[in-house]
Amino acid sequence: MTDNDSRERAKRFARMLMQQAAWPAAVVVAANILTPLAASARGAFETWPAAVALSVAAASAVAVLALSTLLAFDALLFRLMASHEDEASSGAAVDDMLARMRLKPIPSAIRQFDDRVAGTRRLLTRQRAALGLFVVMLFAAGFWAPR
């Protein structure tokens, strides 16, 4: 793969990560604005199963927002990688930045681009699981709310 291809892959991945960080966070924020209005109108806090479901939904909402923040940070790191000429210098720049921010020590060997992508995809999977739990718990709270 040429250096231009790796830069283009990093740019595309960073763009995709920003989108994947933004829309779940927007869904959670919108739902958290609308849910208390609907829940109080229907008396959802009066039954313990609905209250528990709303509490679990709130906790998973926090997880979605935290993971969205991590994905946005990773997107910025991939943009940094895209600004360098080759894969080795881009990986070294990211490792140097993380070390200067005291988030990670400088590794003995530079991680490959595909390894970094795999780690970020694991974060995406966790975010989707938390978003799924959030949606299921909102529906469960609606199911258990008094009519």
Domain that holds residue 108: 3-144
pLDDT at 117 over 90: yes
Residue with tokens 């999977």: 125
Q: What is the mean pLDDT of residues 9-24?
A: 95
The pLDDT of residue 53: 86
Measure Cα distances from 37 to 33, 70, 75 in Å. 8, 29, 34
Mean per-residue pLDDT of the chain:
88
Structural domains in the chain (count): 1
Backbone angles phi, psi at 112, to 5 degrees: -75, 160
Q: What is the pLDDT of residues 66-116, one digit of tens each?
A: 999 999 999 999 999 999 888 888 889 999 999 999 999 988 888 888 999
pTM for the predicted model, two decimal places: 0.87
Region at 102 (left for phi over 0; alpha for psi -120 to 50; beta for the rest): left
Percent of the chain with pLDDT over 90: 60
The H or E element that residue 125 is part of is helix 113-144
The pLDDT of residue 35: 75
